[in-house]
Amino acid sequence: DSGVTQTPKHLITATGQRVTLRCSPRSGDLSVYWYQQSLDQGLQFLIQYYNGEERAKGNILERFSAQQFPDLHSELNLSSLELGDSALYFCASSVGLAESYNEQFFGPGTRLTVL
């Protein structure tokens, strides 16, 4: 158990809908990262927050947005869902900034299926 929690575990929805994925980092970790993993794309970095502020952006679509709240939990919002958005979404956390040689602790993931 990494100490990172993600809810829900599974999500099935229809195209065009909007969903919210939630992540609670390990106690004491200030950085939160979001990743998307699909069979054909591998693990893709989406976005990173550090202590409530956005720090780095990867291949995140404009239909996706995220935020980190004062209690350090984070939410990833996916809207106007398409079939291709079906994937495993992972959240990871680390103590400090990525540049500080911190390891990342990954949550169990949310499996999103768009029908």
Partner 1 sequence: SQKIEQNSEALNIQEGKTATLTCNYTNYSPAYLQWYRQDPGRGPVFLLLIRENEKEKRKERLKVTFDTTLKQSLFHITASQPADSATYLCALLNYGQNFVFGPGTRLSVLP
Chain residues in the site for partner 1 (CB under 8 A): 2, 4, 33, 35, 42-45, 48, 56-58, 88, 90, 92, 98-99, 101, 103-109
| Tokens (6 digits) for 106 | 């990954």
**Residue (40 or 62) nearer to partner 1, CB:** 40
CB of 109 to partner 1, least distance (A): 6
CB of 77 to partner 1, least distance (A): 20
> Rounded distance, CA 109 to CA 95, Å?
19
Please state, as a whole number, how many other Cβ atoms lie within 10 Å of the Cβ of residue 111: 15
| Tokens (6 digits) for 1 | 């158990």
**Residue (14 or 39) nearer to partner 1, CB:** 39
Tell me the three state secondary structure of residue 100: helix
